[in-house]
Amino acid sequence: MDVIEFRPERDQYAFTFGGVAPVRKVQPGTMLQLWTDDAFCGALRDPSDMPSAKLTMPFVNPQTGPFYVEGAEPGDMLALHFVDLSPARDFGASSTIPFFGGLTGTDRTVTLQDPLEERTWIYEVDRDRRTVAFQARSSDLRLELPMDPMLGTVGVAPAAGEVRSSLVPDAFGGNMDTPEMRAGASCYLGVNVPGALFSVGDGHYRQGEGESCGTAVEGAMNVSLIVDLVKGGGPAWPRIETDDYLMVVGSSRPLEDAWRISQAGMTGWLSDLYGLDKLDAYQLLTQVSECPLANVVDVNYSSVTKVRKSLLPPADAYDGVHRRLRELGGTTS
């Protein structure tokens, strides 16, 4: 398997999906070994680092990429299988950012109240114990939490000639912020432009569902992934497959619309896999779906619909691309 390593220089950081020239061309079947900076561009390193002083809007959530996938045409499906995600720094950072987050007025849910206090937390990473350490600022409470590395942002260039901020997820993927984007997962994205032009970023060493305060345990990440391409059949919204689950991610507002997108996507997927009509698929989904939230903080919220494969008859989605990539990745790593 071809392997390409890439670590962007600061001036190569991409802050949009679309609108950026590709940094590399890659063949389907290639493994990429990437480094991606954290959402703060590494600017928060100490509890005294305040976002309002250290961040330069809109230059946050930098992406590594985009990569041009040879042969990818609009309508195809890009498959990205994450072989490994490993923290690239010894600390993660999280922060309350004025008027950003789920439990504060924002630039959309505008209120006249004063912002919440700005505060930064630094999480010490222990690679051996695979933990990140929460240290309360108002008390002595210190907790070691299991490390659970994920990528907040995975996406392709949007349709209709759009160029979109790396902060706002939509049908092209982007900043979905779901903890399901772990090593072992394959992410399926519909291709909108020749070459797909995908990028990844926003490493989280750990994140709860919903990403309440707006920032996870943000950290630079080493990412190993295998790129593949399925001709035709690109899904309207991002899908994720693991050994155990099928998933669809919807991103919109209000949150019920993000959920509806993910549910209708899964209804269609079940129909396709098992030859059910839409009502039977809807009924089956009603009894088997798991619905963890992803983010409730971005301009579009993201909701995940998951179905556990063990509840369903065996089926090879997309001719078994996940299983194939999983095996490839297993051999490699």
Distance CA 239, CA 153 (A): 14
Edge to edge, what strands does the sheet with 239-241 contain?
Answer: 3-6, 31-36, 221-230, 77-87, 186-190, 239-241, 245-252, 301-308
Q: How far is CA 313 from CA 174, 270, 307, in A?
A: 31, 11, 12
Phi, psi of 140 (to 5 degrees): -90, 0
Out of 137, 272, 315, 333, the only residue in the binding site for a second copy (CB under 8 A) is 137
Selected range binding a second copy among 195-203, 241-249, 284-292, 318-326, rule: CB under 8 A = 284-292
Distance CA 40, CA 217 (A): 11
CB of 328 to a second copy, least distance (A): 31
Q: Does 128 bind a second copy (CB under 8 A)?
A: no
> Which is closer to a second copy, CB of 37 or CB of 148?
148
Q: What angle do CA 188, 166, 121 make, to 5 degrees?
A: 110
> Which is closer to a second copy, CB of 309 or CB of 324?
309
CB of 164 to a second copy, least distance (A): 6
Q: Does 285 bind a second copy (CB under 8 A)?
A: yes
Q: Does 257 bind a second copy (CB under 8 A)?
A: yes
Q: Which of residues 60-99 bind a second copy (CB under 8 A)?
A: 94, 96
> Which is closer to a second copy, CB of 206 or CB of 326?
206
Distance CA 29, CA 134 (A): 39
Out of 156, 217, 221, 240, the only residue in the binding site for a second copy (CB under 8 A) is 217
Out of 9, 128, 141, 314, the only residue in the binding site for a second copy (CB under 8 A) is 141
Q: Does 110 bind a second copy (CB under 8 A)?
A: yes
Please give the single-letter amino acid code of residue 3.
Answer: V
Out of 194, 282, 323, 324, the only residue in the binding site for a second copy (CB under 8 A) is 282
# binding residues, a second copy (CB under 8 A):
93
> Which is closer to a second copy, CB of 21 or CB of 160?
160
Q: Which of residues 166-205 bind a second copy (CB under 8 A)?
A: none
Q: Which of residues 5-24 bind a second copy (CB under 8 A)?
A: 15-16, 18-19
> Which is closer to a second copy, CB of 145 or CB of 328?
145
Q: Does 317 bind a second copy (CB under 8 A)?
A: no
> Which is closer to a second copy, CB of 111 or CB of 333?
111
Selected range binding a second copy among 22-30, 181-189, 222-230, 298-306, rule: CB under 8 A = 298-306
In 207-288, at which residue ranges do the beta strands (DSSP E only) sit? 217-218, 221-230, 239-241, 245-252
Out of 185, 301, 325, 326, the only residue in the binding site for a second copy (CB under 8 A) is 301
Cα torsion 14, 15, 19, 24 to 10°: value is: 20
Assess contact for 211 and 97: CB atoms under 8 A. Answer: no
Instruction: Give the chain's end-to-end CA distance (angstroms, integer).
Output: 12
Out of 77, 80, 88, 261, the only residue in the binding site for a second copy (CB under 8 A) is 261
Using DSSP's 3-state secondary structure scheme, residue 188 falls into strand
Distance CA 132, CA 94 (A): 12
Q: What angle do CA 31, 36, 40 make, to 5 degrees?
A: 165
